[in-house]
Amino acid sequence: MMARDGEVSVFKLAAGAIAIMAFATGALVFMPYVALSDIAPPEGLKPYTDQQLRGRQSYIAHGCIYCHSQQPRDPSVAPDMARGWGRPSVPADYVYDKPHLLGTMRTGPDLFNIAVRQPSRDWHLGHLYQPRAYSPGSIMPAYPFLFERRRGAAQPGEVVVSLPPGYVVTGERIVATQEALDLTAYLLSLDRTYPVVKTGDVP
């Protein structure tokens, strides 16, 4: 009789646990799936090119997301727009983002519209090589392994990074690797200034 009593509670336990989990999954995973699955890409948003996708992959591999978000907030909440980070983002801005890179830290600035704020490839390459050459006091890591130091005469086809004086040894030049070029191409694709249709409260 005791055992039977116990059986009932094991069953209740398992059933309750599963039901509660199913309910939460329905609310937090399935409902957004339904609500967001038929969103059309805005006209101004282009799919990523192959090179940009490779760059996106290295953004993931080098963990830029642990310091940079991609989700400007509404001006009523925070001065993100005033900082030049762009208008509040909407779900349609992310239709080509797999995996999503919204991020939860702002050790560095939001990058959702970095191409607008900083359209120069040279600047990005130099900044990745040594952030402190452009932004004194920055705590962004330097990424020297995305570049090669070469001596002698420049070769055709090389992208040589132009750094502020004092950051290159004379006689040496800093050459961007393909990965650095891809990553920069991705950064330069981050421009969501096209208008969006305001849908209000997405149900």
Partner 1 sequence: MSFSAGLLLVTFLGSVAALALFLWSMSRGLFGTGEAAGRVIFASKEIGLVEEPAATTAATEDELQGVMNRTGHTGEFAVLTPEEADERAMLDASSKLPVIIALTGAVTWLVIASVFGLVASIKLHAPDWLVHEAWISFGRIRPAHLNAVAYGWCSLAGLGIAIWLFPRLLRTPLVGSRTAAAGVLLWTLGVTGGIAAILMGKSAGLEWLEFPWQVDIPLFLGGTLVGVALLRTLKRRKVPHLYVSVWYISAGLIWLPALLIVAKWPGIHFGVQQAAMNWWYGHNVLGLWFTPLGLAAIYYFLPKVLGKPIHSYHLSLVGFWTLAFFYSQVGGHHLIGGPVPNWLITLSIVQSMMMIVPVVAVGVNQHRTAHGHLSALRYSPTLRFIVLGGMMYTLASVQGSMQSLRIVNTTTHFTHFTVAHAHLGLYGFFSLVMFGSMYFVMPRVMDWEWPYSKLISLHFWLVLGGFAVYFTGLSIGGWLQGMRMLDAARPFMDSVTVTAPYLYSRTVGGTLMTLGHLVFAAHFGVMLLRRGKRREGAALLRRPMPTPRSSGSLSPTGASV
Residue 71 near residue 94 (C-beta atoms within 8 A)? no
Interface with ligand HEC (CB under 6 A), residue total: 24
The partner in contact with residue 118, picked from ligand HEM, partner 1, ligand HEC, none with C-beta cut-offs of 5 to 8 angstroms by kind, is ligand HEC
Residue 114 binding result from ligand HEM, ligand HEC, partner 1, none, given CB thresholds of 5 to 8 Å by partner type: ligand HEC
What number of CA atoms fall less than 13 Å from residue 127's CA on the CB side? 17
Give me the half-sphere count of Cα atoms (radius 13 Å) on the Cβ side of residue 179: 14
Interface mask toward ligand HEC for 89-118; x: CB under 6 A: ------------------xxx-x--x--xx
Token couple for 64: 């830029």
Q: Is 66 in the site for ligand HEM (CB under 6 A)?
A: yes
- Kindly state the smallest distance separating residue 73's Cβ from ligand HEM, in Å: 12
**Between the CA of residue 37 and those of 43, 89, 94, what are the distances in Å?**
17, 17, 12
Contact 122, 134 (CB under 8 A): no
Q: By Cβ distance, which residue is nearest to ligand HEC?
A: 108
Could you tell me the two tokens for 29?
A: 């995973």
* Residue 77 binds ligand HEM, judged by CB under 6 A: no
The residue ranges that bind ligand HEC (CB under 6 A) are 59, 62-64, 66-68, 107-109, 111, 114, 117-118, 124, 131, 135, 138-141, 143, 183, 187
